[in-house]
Chain A
Amino acid sequence: MNSYSTFGTALHRLAILCYVLFALFPLFWLLKVSVTPNDLLYSEGVRMWPSRMSFEHFRFVLAHSAFPVFFRNSMIVAGATAVIVTLLASLSGYALSRFTFRGKYWLVALMLLTQMFPLVMLVAPIFKMLSPLGLTNSLTGLVVVYTAFNIPFATFLMQSFFDGIPKELEEAAKIDGATQFMAFRQIVLPLTLPGIAATLGFVFTAAWSELLFALMLISGNSAATFPVGLLTFVSKFSVDFGQMMAAGVLALIPACLFFLFIQRYLVQGLTAGAVKG
């Protein structure tokens, strides 16, 4: 079937190249401005790379701004959310994959419903609910909210990974006397490691990026996450492009690392689910 002409092949590579350029250009520009010294910023406006590089913006952002605090806050929130969600979602995903039980239909319907309605609806009521509990302006509050928001999707994701693992493995273990939970923990979970990694990555990225609830629930610098900090910074120092973009590059690092780590599982994992289904 591979009777493609040379022309077709060239066109294919060219199209791929266009996509890669389109995907990378904005990030490249972010990096470029962040290493451009202030005196060249306006004189060399649309040049592709500054004639002289400097890391002064990064030094300033790391030493003289609150960004290290924002960075730490976001790490704590996204990390804790990812771990808790993955733990709980692997339990509930396993139940959806292996058990038939009364109310399962309603549970799935409820989880689907949470994926359909606009979360922005919840901004006001969640603020009202959390504020008497002292959970506004707190990292714990954000972790609780993000955990709940991410569980339904993570459950479906984990379920699809569990569905790809043959039931016979656990049945053999149960014949050998293991309980269902032992079989789950010692046989199924180790086989789902790629799925667990993917779920961790998904949830971490989602929590790292969340903006609206962080804006509403957090005021002041001490508990601000990266999005809130960067946005406050932008509205306060809107002329200092070099520093803003340096901060932007820093916000990009953990998300990209996580992504490069998990991206090979994405299509693979989804395919496994699709083939089976």
Chain B
Amino acid sequence: MVFDATAGFPESRRRSLVDRVTRQAEPYLYTAPALILIVTIMLAPLVLGLSYAFRDVHLLNPFSGGYVGLDHFRTLYDDDNFYRALRNTLWWTGASVLLQFVFGLILALLLDRPFAGRAIAQALVFLPWAVPTFLTGLNWAWLFNPVIGPLPHWLYALGLMNEPANILSNPQLAMWGPIIANVWWGIPFFAITLLAALQAIPRDLYEAAAIDGAGAFRRFTSITLPFLAPTIAITVLLRTVWISNFADLIIVMTSGGPADRTQIVASYIFTQAFRALDFGYASAIALVLLVLLLAYSMLIVMLRQVLMDRA
């Protein structure tokens, strides 16, 4: 590559001032397009949405839009569906994150060891992550459907079910449908992140430990886990927030039913906005969800601070 050797050197004071201004402005020019988009398409609607929480906004009613104060929050306070959605969110998030993490960690440990065909095995086990979520939802809904899918028949054959029925229409079990679909789809994310962290651990540490007589389990608890801990903490924290907001699978598989047993807060917001077209109430619920998530994140940050101070 050949560059004009004189281009970088100022020829006059004027030129050098221009240069300095350009250099000062350069990072802002690089970031401006991204910043403008984020502010107009994410921040502005966020603020607008917060204002809807205190207004009566119905899509089909042109006369709506008036200020209603805390009315939405009073309705919300007595809304049993909301409390059920809150409980369901905890259950959905807790089970999904835990199962994804455990199976993702095991997969990462399995893939960290060299073996013939590792590249192809890795490509295949990571594949579910590329499957669009709406298709993941539909695919699992079909697998659970006794007309077309094998799962109910297998569960029946194993004696786990009295008859080959669809668990998605059983209020007691329905939540397991989206959770299983979510675990299938989300294992690769944890596995990819943890595998990357595993491969960054210096190999000679293991050799030194082995020479000192540490067994496989000891090496895992004294080397692998401490090295992985920061990655695990940040991934689990981010995933928890993300999954508690992740409504796609539920909307596709059950639409929150049967009898609202799978309705989580995020899908409840979407249902209020999309089906009831009640933008005001949807935004009020969203505001409460946002506050809860912020509280959760603060708690984690504080917890981390306490743990770090002690260490």
Contact = CB atoms under 8 A, between A and B. Distances in A.
A15 B44 contact: no
Interface of A: 1, 12-13, 15-16, 19-20, 22-24, 26-27, 29-30, 33, 41-42, 45-46, 88-89, 91-92, 94-96, 99, 101, 104, 107, 110-111, 114-129, 144-145, 147-149, 151-152, 155, 173-182, 186-187, 205, 208-209, 211-212, 215-216, 226-227, 230-231, 234, 241, 244-245, 248, 251-252, 255-256, 258-260, 263-264, 266-267, 270-271, 273-275
Contact of A260 (B4, B42, B123, B273): B123
A180 B148 contact: no
B134 A211 contact: yes
Nearest to B1: A186
B273 A216 contact: yes
B8 A212 contact: no
Contacts of B283: 121, 124-125
B38 A212 contact: no
Interface stretch (B67-75, B166-174, B195-203): B195-203
B46 interface: yes
Interface residues on B, range: 35 or more
B308 interface: no
A112 B196 CA distance: 21
A263 B188 CA distance: 11
B273 A248 contact: no
Interface string B134-178: 111011101100011110011000000000000000000000000
A161 to B, nearest CB: 13
Contacts of B143: 26, 29
Q: Is chain B's interface secondary structure helix, strand, loop, or mixed overall?
A: helix
Given A15-B106, A23-B128, A29-B143, A122 B42 contact: yes
Nearest to A275: B200
B97 interface: no
Q: Is chain A's interface secondary structure helix, strand, loop, or mixed overall?
A: helix
B279 interface: yes
Contact of A151 (B37, B119, B126, B252): B37
A125 to B, nearest CB: 4
Q: Which of A118, A227, A234, A245 has the most CB of B within 10 A?
A: A118
B105 interface: no
B38 A16 contact: no
Top-9 shortest CB links A-B: A259-B130, A148-B41, A209-B132, A270-B196, A95-B30, A124-B279, A125-B45, A99-B27, A121-B286
Contacts of A267: 122, 192, 195-196, 199
Given A120-B286, A211-B251, A212-B247, A241 B27 contact: no
A123 B42 contact: no
A216 B248 CA distance: 13
A215 B274 CA distance: 8
A75 B260 CA distance: 35
Contacts of B133: 209, 211
A263 B122 contact: yes
Contact of B119 (A12, A13, A216, A264): A264
A214 B44 CA distance: 19
B236 interface: no
A177 B4 contact: yes
Contacts of A205: 130, 132
B61 interface: no
Given A19-B125, A274-B200, 18 more contacts: A12-B110, A23-B125, A26-B143, A33-B142, A95-B26, A110-B43, A115-B238, A120-B286, A122-B45, A123-B282, A177-B8, A211-B133, A216-B274, A244-B142, A248-B135, A264-B119, A266-B126, A274-B199
Interface string B279-297: 1001100110110010001
B205 to A, nearest CB: 10
A198 to B, nearest CB: 11
Contacts of A41: 148
Given A24-B124, A88-B33, A148-B41, A177 B7 contact: yes
B129 A94 contact: no
B115 interface: yes
A59 to B, nearest CB: 20
Nearest to B241: A116
Nearest to A117: B290
Interface in B53-85: 57, 59
Contacts of B21: none
B127 interface: yes
B30 A179 contact: no
